[in-house]
Structure formats: structure tokens, C-alpha cells
Amino acid sequence: MSRQRPNVRVLTSSLAGCSDNSDLWIGKQIHCVALRNGFVSDSKLCNGLLDMYGKCGQIVQACTMFSAMACKSVVSWTS
């Protein structure tokens, strides 16, 4: 069986599920996968991470993520 590389769309969708279920552990795993694959520059993924950390009560991590974002959108500012 071949190993497929994850893509931004799948990770972003998975983060939405983590946010809805307040599943911090899985959300952190997705964040690690995004870091390893160089996806953290994607604004939609970063907004998903902000949302997930905020909904899981991890305000410090959400603030750190927000500060590290190069391009902040209206969605970023309201997450």
C-alpha cells in the first residue's frame, strides 16, 4: 500500500471536526502534520487552527498562532 501525503484541504476539514467536538489532542496532531508538511503558511488552515485552539480553551496557543500568522484576514481577526 502506498503512503499518501496529506493535503491542506483534508487537514482544514479535519480541524473543523476537532473544533466542533473540542478534541484538542487530535487538533494538535493535525497541527504537527501541518508543520511537518510546510502547510502553516496557508491562511485557511491557520484560521482553522485558531478556531480549534479557541474552542478548546487554549487561548495562549491561539494567541501564539495568531501572532505567527504572516497574513491575517477578517476571519483571523474574528476567530
Is 1 inside a domain boundary? no
Is 39 inside a domain boundary? yes
Cβ-Cβ contacts under 8 Å for 62 (sequence gap 6 or more) = 50, 53, 54, 79
- pTM for the model: 0.87
Residue with cell 474574528: 78
Model confidence pLDDT, tens digit, residues 21-79: 999 999 999 999 999 999 988 999 999 999 999 999 999 999 998 998 888 888 888 87
Q: Residue 17 belongs to what domain range? A: 8-78
Q: How many domains does the chain have?
A: 1
Is 3 inside a domain boundary? no
